[in-house]
Structure 1
């Protein structure tokens, strides 16, 4: 997909990776709707702030009506509560699933007809190395990203006949607020990750693996898990 003159909707565009994606899309010549729950927090030049709460279906439908010229959807908004699946609070698990799985599902369902009506385009889902690696302490987040990986693969097959490609970005820790407690030498530069993601969308790649740990985990998917 050519990003010059594309019309992109980026969820969670007010900070972190989403902010970098929105800024780089503008630099590549795209029109950008920078979506956030509170659009007043969007301070990027050259974008159109857009109110969109991925957990609120009416908000999503209203955003799709406003961004009726969209040709690219970037499902970036997400949360992490560091909740284990068995010992953690059930409400936290549900909140992560509502945001990280049902959120992109709801937004994709709303925007797919828009993108199709505009001649086709692309969807980019921001996933994680934890789509495939499931540490107990982050069990809830990992479960949501594994589910979002399945969503991505199924949506790719479903949307292809409608002229919409679907790409997934998988990445480990990035230097953003979400990974504030992780040592700096273990974190990727979100600006570099955003550039890789957008290059992958332009190339039509189904999966974009943004760092070495992600590539290594992906190669080892066929390995039988060891007993605890």
Structure 2
């Protein structure tokens, strides 16, 4: 839970409760959060709601077998000591990506963008340095991208975030990201076919987007869409 989060604000209280329910806070953050949790009925309700929502998503996240490199890393970091297996820091680091995906799915579930819109088929979470979400990008079953701004603090005034599909080493713009609220991006059919196999990247650009059709500002995150269990990918 970042120090600058204001738990008196409903939106920030909601996100902080999500991090607490996911178990991704460090010891100091958890202590600060629990001090407020003990006296705040609103925060207690938020945590209870998050736990209920996340339990529902256990059935939607497909199990993933860790590669051998993960087990080798665990062995190196534990040094054979059984007590290290109970280290929250160790498991927090290994579970970061899964926690971010669960947080994204839960945010989309508890605050649907459009009740009549197709369900998300895959999700990409744009994270900041503290592993908190800037944007949540979900691909619908028909190949469109729904983007929800969470807390994109790294985009300043007179700037915008721009999403790129990196195909064969060449970035192609998929559109501008909202500084608040939601936005629907509709890639061309040729780009939709590559959404699940190509890398995505987000850059900070001047208002209106990259002037030359290529990233000019810093790349603040990159990754890929992660399929949601049970989704039908038709694009």
Normalized against structure 2, the TM-score is what? 0.32
Instruction: Report which of the two has the higher share of strand.
Output: 2
Q: Does 1 or 2 have the higher relative contact order (CA < 8 Å, sep 6+)?
A: 1
Which structure would you say has the larger Rg?
2
Instruction: Report which of the two has the higher share of helix.
Output: 1
